[in-house]
Amino acid sequence: MIKRPLGNTGIEVSELAFGGVEIGIPYGINVKSKDDMLTESEAIDLLHTSLDAGINFYDTARMYGDSERIIGKAFKNKRDKIVLNTKCVHFRDENGKIPKYSELKKIVENSLHESLKTLQTDFVDIFMLHSVNMEILESEDVIRIFSDLRCTGKFRATGASTYAPEETRKAIETGAWDVIQLPFNLMDQRQSEYFPLALQNGIGIVIRSVLLKGILSDRGKNLHPELHKVEAHLKEYNELIKEPVTDLSTLAVKFALSFPEVSSVLVGLDRMDYLQKSLKMADGNYLDKSQLGRAKKLSYPDPDFLNLPYWSKMKWLE
């Protein structure tokens, strides 16, 4: 597994990152309950196998159910071999507002403490804001709290998980965040506008939603009627699916890894066979200039519609 620098953090991460949400909570198409998930022992076996195969980057969050606990149990005696990223709890109040400094500081500190305890480690490599908005990114209190906490040695780098392109731009401009985790895939390519700016500022880019919650895979069939235009658009990628690109999910991962500014691509792994398939995708051979150019032209014409939280709320992914 090839490793890439995570911006200017001094950390090197595998091109594939293990997305820990799917081993912690029901997540993805047709995953409705714990009955559809791996058992704890199966998840630990999958984590160990991924590490042995060359993956060293593991992403989790306080909000991911059992994910931190399982990762902590799996790597208790292998901490020096992995790079850990976790995310703070959501701290906005019921009105979407940020608490006052003293309360906010307590929330963030408690979240970090609980993560370290659950992960069975003294530090994490990246401690990240979870689900930011512009108000959070503009908050001097938030920046100050994360900066002060980093000085304690409990994490090596700060991070922000963004959604909208303007949030990514703001996160870069503040200069406060070492790593940005953002959604980017074949269908929604808007975030790539800020890849060069991130590189210029030494910020590591970690891609999530590379498979659009499984839609850019063999699961992207027989979708909810409200997603019929999305399903029809998927067929346009068939022209790029030819050896060595064997299917849509392989195309999606190779597309994201074709951008040199990208440090790592998060892949939600909940099956051993998908781990093996993912390892073959990240083989160092990505899209050539012609293929990449064509893929860029095949983005979805209405990217604002690609709103996964809204789709989940409307139960379109069930």
3-313 adopts what CATH topology?
Answer: TIM Barrel (3.20.20)
Tokens of 282: 């990240």
pLDDT attached to residue 94: 80
pTM: 0.94
Within 13 Å and on the Cβ side, how many CA atoms surround 247? 14
Name the residue among 285, 274, 288, 277 with its Cα closest to residue 28.
274
**Residues β-bridged to residue 129:** 160
Cβ atoms of 178 and 155 within 8 Å: the answer is no
pLDDT attached to residue 239: 94
Alpha carbon distance 120, 110 (integer Å)? 15
Residue 157 sits at φ, ψ, to 5 deg, of -145, 150
**Residues β-bridged to residue 19:** 59, 268
pLDDT by residue for the chain (318 residues), tens digit each?
A: 899 999 999 999 999 999 999 999 887 666 778 878 889 999 999 999 999 999 999 999 999 999 999 999 999 999 999 999 999 999 888 887 899 999 999 999 999 999 999 999 999 999 999 989 999 999 999 999 999 999 999 999 999 999 999 999 999 999 999 999 999 999 999 999 999 999 999 999 999 999 998 899 988 888 999 999 999 999 999 999 988 899 999 999 999 999 999 999 999 888 899 899 999 999 999 999 999 999 999 999 999 999 988 998 898 987
Residue 118 sits at φ, ψ, to 5 deg, of -70, -35
pLDDT attached to residue 164: 94
Domain ranges of the chain: 3-313
Name the residue among 143, 59, 138, 133 with its Cα closest to residue 108.
143
Tokens of 185: 């895939």
Query: In degrees, to the nearest 5, what angle opens at C-alpha 130 toward C-alphas 169 and 12?
Result: 75
